[in-house]
Structure 1
Amino acid sequence: MRRRIIAAARACDYAQLSKLADEKGKSVRFTFGDGDDVAAYWKEREAEGEPILARLVNVLDLPYALQGGIYYWPWLHVTGVKNPEDWKALSDVYSEAELKGMRETRDSYYGLRVGISKTGDWQLAVSGD
């Protein structure tokens, strides 16, 4: 599933991302707000200047952590930020200003995280608290 998500995101194939999101049922959490169409939501975010698809690829290229039968990318979502090197690993995902904001407001990672179950069910791709 991870490789398929990366391929679809690199191709900017919103239709394929939508299929992958619902492949094993409507279970992908992609926003804390309203929304039931992941493709439409991400297109809107991209139009507003947020590089959501690039972030999706970059996050899935980072190490993961396993918790409760779900693989989470990046690992920091589970382990927390432990040292400056952890922040440095996110430099391909977020700008220095965005990372500085995370460090200053909570000293924790609250950016995009992706969760895929051991059975390959895409569970989430969400940012924020």
Structure 2
Amino acid sequence: MGMFDLGVRDWLLMALMALPVVATLLPLIPAAHWSVRVFDFPRLQIAALSVLCMVLNPLFKQSDSPLFLAMELLNLGCVLYQFKEIHAYTWLAKKQVLDYQALTMIAASAYSIAMSSPPTAMPKN
């Protein structure tokens, strides 16, 4: 049995496994068109689809083709890349903003400074 001698079921599984790979690689293209940029947003869904593909691969493949191992590794790479991109938006990442109380103090200080200065006249047109 050759590398590309796959049944219909194997080709369908291969196509399913290719979807998250394509969805991960498309945003890396420096294009502003919506059909490319749309994949910047569903990162969690793309990662979940990659994990699903990695679970379905050993359950449904009917061939021992090395293409399945290659797609499995590509999907693992997709999951790792998507989680790297998602990480900054989770509670696991280090905070990059001031605490709420500190921000309130800064805002109150700016307000008091603004209120203590004399009003300026608006220029007439």
Which structure dedicates a bigger proportion of its chain to strand? Answer: 1
Which structure has the larger Rg? 2
- TM-score in same-fold range (> 0.5): no
Q: For the superposition of Structure 1 and Structure 2, which TM-score range results when normalised by the shorter chain?
A: under 0.3
TM-score scaled by length of structure 2: 0.23
Compute the TM-score of the two structures, normalised by the length of structure 1.
0.22
